[in-house]
């Protein structure tokens, strides 16, 4: 009977170990579940912060695009004004050259027609 008592005792011991082992597994699963939930919360927080950052970046890019689009119009206006000023400068330069030629011609004519009234000041220019 001692073998039977030992077997019963061993059976009860193993049964107790199984119960304790199931408690340990439940506790470990609970920890893992809590740990997984914490990781999911951190992941969701990170995703939300990333999405907010992306929204802000897109909003800033839109503002910058609108500002640059307005400046494109200003730049085009400035280029057109510059081209007009360059054309006007060229026209005035040609008119000045023509006026200088006319003055030289008139001075030459004055010198030939009335050398006595021609002043030497004109020779210096």
Q: 52-86: b or e for each residue (b if 16 or more CB lie within 10 Å)?
A: eeeeeeeeeeeeeeeeeeeeeeeeeeeeeeeeeee
Residue 1 has pLDDT above 90, yes or no: no
Question: CB under 8 Å to 122, separation ≥6 — which residues?
Answer: 107
Report the length, in residues, of the chain.
125
**Over residues 44-64, mean pLDDT:** 93
Residue 2: both structure tokens together: 């001692």
DSSP string, 92-123: HHHHHHHHHHHHHHHHHHHHHH-TTT--THHH
Question: CB under 8 Å to 121, separation ≥6 — which residues?
Answer: none
Between 54-58, 99-103, 120-124, the lowest mean confidence (pLDDT) is in 120-124
The domain locations on the chain are: 2-124
Looking at residue 89, its pLDDT comes to 94
pTM for the model: 0.41
Residue 104: both structure tokens together: 């030289």
């Amino acid at each position: 009977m001692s073998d039977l008592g030992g077997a019963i005792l061993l059976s009860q011991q193993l049964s107790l170990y199984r119960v304790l082992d199931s408690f340990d597994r439940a506790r470990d699963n609970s920890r893992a579940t809590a740990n997984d939930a914490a990781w999911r919360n951190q992941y969701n927080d990170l995703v939300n912060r990333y999405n907010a950052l992306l929204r802000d970046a897109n909003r800033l890019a839109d503002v910058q695009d609108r500002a640059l689009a307005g400046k494109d119009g200003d730049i085009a206006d400035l280029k057109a004004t510059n081209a007009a000023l360059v054309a006007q400068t060229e026209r005035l330069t040609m008119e000045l050259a023509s006026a200088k030629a006319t003055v030289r011609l008139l001075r030459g004519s004055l010198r030939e027609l009335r050398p006595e009234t021609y002043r030497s000041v004109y020779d210096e220019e």
